[in-house]
Amino acid sequence: MKKIYVCLCFIFVFFTSAQATTEQSSTAPEIQDRVYKKLQVFSRILQYIESNYIEDVKIESLLDDAMKGLTSGLDPHTAYLPPEYYREMKVDTSGHFDGVGIEIGVSESRDFVVITPTKGGPAEQAGVEMGDKILSVAGQSTKDLNLVELVKLIRGKKGSEVKMILQHANEDKPYEVKKKKKTIKIKSVQFEKLEHDLGYIQIKSFQEKTDREVRKAFLQLDKKENLKGLVLDLRNNPGGLLSQAQLVSDLFLESGVIVSTKGKNGAFVETLHAKKEGTLRFVPIIVLINGGTASAAEIVAGALQDHKRAVLLGTPSFGKGSVQTIIDLEDGSGLKLTVARYYTPKGRAIQAVGDFPDVYVSNRAIAVESENEARALREKDLKGRLKTLSESGKEREQSGKENDANAKNDLQLERALEYLRTWDIFRKPFSSHLKKKVS
């Protein structure tokens, strides 16, 4: 216990010195006294457990649980990651992992839910849908698990089997999924040349080199500089690297702010700008978004929308407008810590609100009824999510009217292509008038 006491004393000195610089209303001695009393209680609890608990326990495990507890009351994207979980997490931006292919979140009611299944993965093939509640995994109730423990159960060695009990959001009866884990390879970018000299680029996640893949795809589609329009598909894109969101946005913007981030007490952390060098040839762009469009994908959509470089079509995005940093700790563990909120070029906060489409179309590209889209989990539904702050620091109203333009039977991609095919038809009759007005 002597080692633990020394450790607690160090925490006490570090924490109180940090707090004294941020709490203006209290004096340093008052802060130190409050923290010291709490750490005294914590130390006594550890002593009681070690000396009197009916079974042998590892103090290290108790301390691990205590550190998990430090972050459990914060926002859903902040977490302490023990070494074994931290190693698992490092595969998130590598483009492949072994599992069944689902993105998981925590709802406001503290249930684990599917944010989006990976297209073509075992989970999607078994009928798992966006918004499904995860009741148990490998015989363990999810009520007894935290997020990193749940992810570890679902991921694992290729070929091993996992059994999950889930429940569709609009049904009372649970259903069982029993699938073998396989290597989920997430190819970041896919593209296709369509009729009428139109192009389609889908970004599934923002991994290392995503910007290079998007550039390569565009140049391939525009090989003869005859591309007349582009659909950029960001649906069900959970995000990824902030740096890649900046670089992808920069491909289509010549200048101006791409995204700005504000940290503790509203201080600007960073403002990222576009540059003219390397900008791709101008073509009309329609960006597809839905409830699974999150984080880095929302940065791209918001930047192109604010600069009027693209039209957003689909349904409101997920609304994850916070930035996390990963801190390596001495014992191989890690801390994923929310350090800032991000804002679009016009200062719009995305947190718990999302990007709103210019053209609202409820159907997704895959054949899913519109009611599934309506029940999709979004950031505002997550337990402990950050408040939505405007750039001035005040809490922002969640607004945005959903005007379903009788798109009940129309898929979003088809609607986007219709608009691009008629782009020139509507533009040409007014082009001479627009030129006169400018002159």
Beta carbons of 388 and 353 less than 8 angstroms apart:
yes
Looking at mean pLDDT, say which of 57-61, 87-91, 298-302 comes out highest.
298-302
Q: Which CATH architecture has domain 189-425?
A: Alpha-Beta Complex (3.90)
Identify the CA nearest to 241 among candidates 306, 190, 188, 277.
Answer: 188
pLDDT at res. 158: 87
CA distance 103 to 376: 13
Environment class of residue 258 by beta-carbon count within 10 Å: exposed (0-12), middle (13-18) or buried (19+)? buried
Residue ranges, comma separated, of all CATH 2.30.42.10 domains in the chain are 96-185
Mean pLDDT on 233-257: 95
* DSSP code, position 386: P
CA-CA distances (angstroms) from residue 434 to 228, 402, 429? 20, 31, 10
Identify the CA nearest to 199 among candidates 281, 304, 273, 262.
Answer: 281
Catalytic residue among 295, 322, 333, 362: 295
Question: Which segment of 307-321, 346-360, 397-411 scores lowest on mean pLDDT?
Answer: 397-411
- Cα atoms in the 13 Å half-sphere on the side-chain side of 419: 20
Of the pLDDT bands very low, low, confident and very high (cuts 50, 70, 90), residue 398 is very low
Does residue 373 have a pLDDT over 80?
Answer: no
Does residue 14 have a pLDDT over 70?
Answer: no
Structure tokens at 224: 């003869």
Q: Which of residues 379 and 40 earns the better pLDDT score? A: 40
Structure tokens at 158: 């290729």
Q: What is the largest CA-CA distance in the chain?
A: 88
- Mean pLDDT across the chain: 82
Mean pLDDT on 348-365: 85
∠ CA 400-406-409 to the nearest 5 degrees? 120
High-pLDDT (> 90) share of the chain, %: 52
Structure tokens at 285: 């762009």
Beta carbons of 198 and 228 less than 8 angstroms apart:
yes
Looking at mean pLDDT, say which of 253-267, 356-370, 371-385 comes out highest.
253-267
Does residue 189 have a pLDDT over 90?
Answer: yes
Catalytic residue among 233, 306, 355, 381: 306
Beta carbons of 246 and 344 less than 8 angstroms apart:
no
CA distance 386 to 246: 23
pLDDT at res. 284: 96
Of the pLDDT bands very low, low, confident and very high (cuts 50, 70, 90), residue 131 is confident
Beta carbons of 301 and 268 less than 8 angstroms apart:
no
CA distance 115 to 27: 44
Residue 306 annotated as catalytic = yes
High-pLDDT (> 70) share of the chain, %: 78
CA distance 250 to 259: 11
Residue 320 annotated as catalytic = yes
Annotate 125-155 with b (16+ C-beta within 10 A) or e (fewer): ebebbbbbbbbbbeeeebeebbbbebbbbbb
| Alpha helices (runs of H) in 73-118, residue ranges in sequence order | 83-89
Catalytic residue among 320, 322, 333, 362: 320
Residue with tokens 């944010």, as numbered in its chain: 115
Residue ranges, comma separated, of all CATH 3.90.226.10 domains in the chain are 189-425
How crowded is residue 412: how many other Cβ atoms within 10 Å of its Cβ? Answer: 27
Q: Which of residues 81 and 283 earns the better pLDDT score? A: 283
CA distance 253 to 354: 21
Of the pLDDT bands very low, low, confident and very high (cuts 50, 70, 90), residue 403 is very low
Q: Which of residues 227 and 425 earns the better pLDDT score? A: 227
CA distance 11 to 26: 19
- Cα atoms in the 13 Å half-sphere on the side-chain side of 43: 17
Beta carbons of 382 and 321 less than 8 angstroms apart:
no
**2.20.25.90, 2.40.160.20, 3.40.50.300, 2.30.42.10: which CATH number matches 96-185?**
2.30.42.10
Q: How many residues would you count in the chain?
A: 439
